[in-house]
């Protein structure tokens, strides 16, 4: 019987692939036979992670908000693997929680550049390769901040809302080219990104667990599982949508705690 989650013969490029959710995705696709290109800010981090996966994988360095670097990363992937089947836009950085009236334009711009412009640039360049084979899947990582407000995290909230709008537009634009485009909206996922915010006292894991119906911060592998489904033929008719992986966080609206947790 055919396994629809077997990715042998496919090439997958993951931005932000050296850490957190991107790294979990890299492992999940590699375990299922894909050749994976890990893209991250530094060539060193990217190639080091790729070598952990094995010799058939590649690391490419570059900033997703720099159009020339985007071109180099996609070109290097296609040169190494001969094709590009799946792009996962996972590169990102946290917001600072600075009071709104103290936020600078430069701060705003960097968050928008990496999350939103980076997603646009990567998708646009990847689609050129995917159109050659009339086949491709693009997964853009949004957030619960893509559908709900996170006060003070203005640029992050705006960028993640933008990622969902962009996802819908590209899905409709490229449906006839054989390219599906979806967004994944994670809740609170235990990665270096969130661990850093917890260490700085900006997030309280106990409060998050109480606010989350499943009562936990989720492991990044759970997000990777959703990505495997969305990239597979099981999701052949799924495009232009958002899959939320948040343990019920955004479904919950009561004023009381969602979960009873042990201290
Ligand atoms: N962890 C969470 O709870 C959570 C929740 C919702 C959404 N997200 C989103 O998921 C994505 C991954 O987050 P994570 O938690 O795995 O974070 P992480 O910090 O563990 O990994 C992010 C990776 O992106 C890379 N990166 C940052 N800026 C880049 C740039 N300009 N170009 C290329 N690479 C760049 C970093 O070097 C890092 O390796 C981000 O877009 C984040 O906003 C995370």
Predicted confidence pLDDT, tens digits, the chain (263 residues): 889 999 999 999 999 999 999 999 999 999 999 999 999 999 999 999 999 999 999 999 999 999 999 999 999 999 999 999 999 999 999 999 999 999 999 999 999 999 999 999 999 999 999 999 999 999 999 999 999 999 999 999 999 999 999 999 999 999 999 999 999 999 999 999 999 999 999 999 999 999 999 999 999 999 999 999 999 999 999 999 999 999 999 999 999 999 998 87
pLDDT of the residue at 2: 86
Looking at residue 102, the DSSP 8-state letter turns out to be G
Q: How many CB atoms lie within 10 A of CB 183?
A: 28
The answer to whether 183 and 243 are in contact (CB under 8 A) is yes
Which residue out of 21, 167, 216 has the highest number of ligand 1 atoms within 8 Å of its CB and is therefore the one to mutate? 21
The model scores a pTM over 0.75: yes
How far does the centroid of ligand 1 lie from the alpha carbon of residue 79, in Å?
26
pLDDT of the residue at 262: 80
Q: Which atom of ligand 1 is nearest to the CA of 21?
A: 16
Residue 197 exposure: Cα atoms within 13 Å on the Cβ side: 18
How far does the centroid of ligand 1 lie from the alpha carbon of residue 89, in Å?
9
Domain ranges of the chain: 11-191+220-247
CATH number of the 11-191+220-247 domain: 3.40.50.720
User: Catalytic annotation on 156?
Assistant: yes
Q: Which of 156, 174, 188, 249 is catalytic?
A: 156
Determine the straight-line distance between the first and last CA of the chain, rounded to whole angstroms.
47
How far does the centroid of ligand 1 lie from the alpha carbon of residue 262, in Å?
29
- Angstrom distance (rounded) from CA 10 to CA 87: 11
- Angstrom distance (rounded) from CA 110 to CA 86: 26
- Angstrom distance (rounded) from CA 43 to CA 28: 21
Enumerate residues lining ligand 1, CB below 6 A: 15-16, 18-22, 40-41, 63-65, 90-93, 114, 118, 141, 143, 186, 188-189, 191-194
């Amino acid at each position: 019987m055919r396994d629809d989650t077997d990715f042998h013969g496919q090439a997958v490029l993951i931005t932000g692939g050296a850490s957190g959710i991107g790294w979990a995705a890299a492992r999940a696709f590699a375990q299922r036979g894909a050749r994976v290109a890990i893209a991250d800010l530094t060539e060193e981090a990217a190639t080091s992670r790729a070598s952990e996966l094995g010799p058939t994988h590649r690391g490419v360095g570059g900033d997703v908000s720099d159009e020339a670097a985007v071109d180099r990363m996609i070109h290097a992937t296609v040169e190494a693997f001969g094709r590009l089947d799946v792009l996962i836009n996972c590169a990102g950085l946290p917001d600072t929680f600075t009071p709104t009236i103290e936020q600078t334009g430069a701060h705003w711009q960097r968050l928008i550049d990496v999350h939103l412009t980076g997603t646009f640039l990567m998708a646009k360049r990847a689609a050129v390769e995917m159109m050659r084979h009339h086949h491709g899947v693009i997964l853009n990582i949004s957030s619960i901040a893509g559908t709900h407000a996170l006060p003070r995290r203005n640029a992050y909230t705006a960028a993640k809302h933008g990622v969902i709008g962009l996802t819908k537009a590209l899905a409709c634009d490229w449906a006839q080219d054989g390219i599906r485009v979806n967004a994944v909206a994670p809740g609170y996922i235990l990665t270096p990104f969130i661990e850093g915010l917890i260490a700085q006292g900006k997030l309280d894991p106990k409060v998050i667990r109480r606010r989350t119906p499943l009562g936990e911060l989720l492991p990044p592998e759970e997000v990777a599982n959703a990505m495997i489904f969305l990239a597979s033929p099981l999701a052949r008719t799924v495009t232009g949508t958002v899959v939320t992986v948040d343990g019920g966080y955004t479904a919950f609206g009561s004023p009381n705690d969602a979960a009873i947790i042990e201290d």
